[in-house]
Amino acid sequence: MRHKRSDFPEAFLFGTATSAYQIEGHAFGGAGRTHWDDFAATPGNVVRAENGDRACDHYHRFAEDLDLVKAAGLDAYRFSISWARVLPEGTGTPNEEGLDYYDRLTDAMLERGLKPCATLYHWELPSALADKGGWRNRDIAAWFGEFTEIAMERLGDRMFSVAPINEPWCVAWLSHFMGGHAPGLRDVRAAARAMHHVLLAHGTAIQTMRGLGMSNLGGVFNLEWATPANGTPEAQAAAARYDAIYNRWFLGGVFKGAYPQAALDGLEPHLPEGWQDDFPTIQAPLDWCGLNYYTRKLIAPDATPFPSLKEVEGPLPKTFMDWEIYPQGLEDFLTRTAKEYTGDLPLYVTENGMASPDVLVDGAVKDPSRTAFLEDHLDAVQRAIAAGVPVSGYFIWSLLDNYEWALGYEKRFGLVHVDFETLERTAKSSYHELKAALQS
């Protein structure tokens, strides 16, 4: 790797990120059923109908996995807490075995000198709450507050940082408008409600944690740069609509107490009554803002109902996800977010990484494309820092090859290869390069 730790500010944190359903093995330890189990059990939703029953079996192997985080020289570990593992029915009686597990996991991080950075919702909604309408039901804010309280009463004293919800766009739009993630709906009214309730739940959880005396609380937003597919005003307007729905809705709600007009144009008729009154909760002050960044999209207008746009294939080199590699978007988002939304608040890149078709040959995995991807994005982070943006850390997605949602186990994002037959872990060349960089 061409970077050294000493090229970054003194307190800059390097970490890696994972999520519960993608690695733990959800069939273990008394976890409740989730809408991802239901979604995966429905033909056509997930590659080979794979689910998170066993995943990487991190539930039983977390000590070995955290040893890998430590040995890489990383400072922090971003993980998530499964709602259905803590509360199998979503509300009510906690699963003590689940709480004990997160207790041990937290202590195992601290024993290794790793900063625990928790996310409270990384997509495995308990099925019992999905039955009640899930993110379409306003009550989800209170249900999520209850879960937050139970989880953080137990763990909050040892967290370095906590964010309520991973990637609100995926929770709301991808899952309720595009049908790509659980619950797999394609319904504009459901989507609009989820777009609002996800932020209401975020704010409720922040307030709950403040009530417990916690600090260093943030939000994690996934951002995708929208480039007009051509120079026409129509393409520019379509890209602006995409930007409004994908990026500005969530940042605008949390940091400005307002939704962008280009999104309201289509969504306002479908929002729940009284939505304007929820901003005091949605805007609960944060201590930092996390950006997950992977790619950009080329956007063209389309003769369909709102949002009347389509994605067009772009010319840049692509990852195994078919996502264009566009590091400039990371610099632009860091700069724009600070300038327009967050000011002096510390920014973290809470996810960045790529999928590649890595194969194990003679006990080793060579993934130079991942190293190059990370280098190019670290350059973008450095340019933002040089321009005065307060970027405080960078987390690589992901530690392990894992369950990549609707794409099953096919798309490998790990610094560490996982053999899904034997569950053996093998550090890839990118892991070794990162380790050398962090030591220098």
Widest distance between CA atoms in the chain = 61
Q: How many CA atoms lie within 13 A of 62 on its CB side?
A: 21
For tokens 């730790």, what's the residue?
5
> Please, which residues have CB within 8 angstroms of residue 233's CB and are 6 or more apart in sequence?
none
Which of residues 397, 401, 427, 434 is near ligand FCB by CB under 6 A? 397
Output the smallest distance, CB 17 to ligand FCB, in A.
8
> How many residues sit in the footprint of ligand FCB (CB under 6 A)?
12
Could you confirm whether 375 is annotated as catalytic? no
Question: Under the criterion CB under 6 A, does residue 295 sit at the interface with ligand FCB?
Answer: no
Q: Which is nearer to ligand FCB, 91 or 222 (CB)?
A: 222
Cβ atoms of 120 and 154 closer than 8 Å: no
Output the smallest distance, CB 167 to ligand FCB, in A.
5
**3-state DSSP call for residue 48?**
helix
> Checking phi first, is residue 128 left (phi over 0); if not, alpha (psi -120 to 50) or beta?
alpha
Q: Which of 435, 234, 436, 251 is CA-nearest to residue 333?
A: 251
Residue list 333-392, contact with ligand FCB (CB under 6 A): 351
* Token couple for 256: 């400005």
Does the N-terminal peptide bond of residue 183 adopt cis geometry, omega within 30 degrees of 0?
Answer: yes
Output the smallest distance, CB 350 to ligand FCB, in A.
9
Draw the binding track, 172-211, toward ligand FCB (x: CB under 6 A; -: no contact): ----------------------------------------
Cβ atoms of 140 and 35 closer than 8 Å: no
Which of residues 19, 161, 208, 337 is near ligand FCB by CB under 6 A? 19
Does the N-terminal peptide bond of residue 301 adopt cis geometry, omega within 30 degrees of 0?
Answer: no
Question: Under the criterion CB under 6 A, does residue 166 sit at the interface with ligand FCB?
Answer: yes
Q: Which residues pair with 220 in a beta bridge?
A: 166, 290
Which of residues 38, 124, 167, 278 is near ligand FCB by CB under 6 A? 167
Question: Under the criterion CB under 6 A, does residue 319 sit at the interface with ligand FCB?
Answer: no
Q: Which is nearer to ligand FCB, 246 or 405 (CB)?
A: 405
Which of residues 79, 405, 409, 431 is near ligand FCB by CB under 6 A? 405
CA distance linking residue 230 with residue 235, whole number of Å: 6
Q: Which is nearer to ligand FCB, 266 or 329 (CB)?
A: 329
**Which one from 167, 331, 404, 433 is the annotated catalytic residue?**
167
CA distance linking residue 41 with residue 423, whole number of Å: 23
Q: Which is nearer to ligand FCB, 20 or 209 (CB)?
A: 20
**Which one from 24, 224, 351, 433 is the annotated catalytic residue?**
351
> Please, which residues have CB within 8 angstroms of residue 384's CB and are 6 or more apart in sequence?
330, 331, 334, 335, 391
Question: Under the criterion CB under 6 A, does residue 413 sit at the interface with ligand FCB?
Answer: yes
Could you count the other beta carbons within 10 Å of the beta carbon of residue 110? 12
Could you confirm whether 351 is annotated as catalytic? yes
Question: Under the criterion CB under 6 A, does residue 170 sit at the interface with ligand FCB?
Answer: yes
Which of residues 243, 324, 404, 433 is near ligand FCB by CB under 6 A? 404
Select the span of 162-170, 188-196, 257-265, 418-426 touching ligand FCB (CB under 6 A). Answer: 162-170
Select the span of 36-44, 163-171, 226-234, 260-268 touching ligand FCB (CB under 6 A). Answer: 163-171
Q: How many CA atoms lie within 13 A of 287 on its CB side?
A: 13
Residues serving a catalytic function are 167, 351
Q: What is the contact surface with ligand FCB in residues (CB under 6 A)?
A: 19, 22, 166-167, 170, 222, 292, 351, 397, 404-405, 413
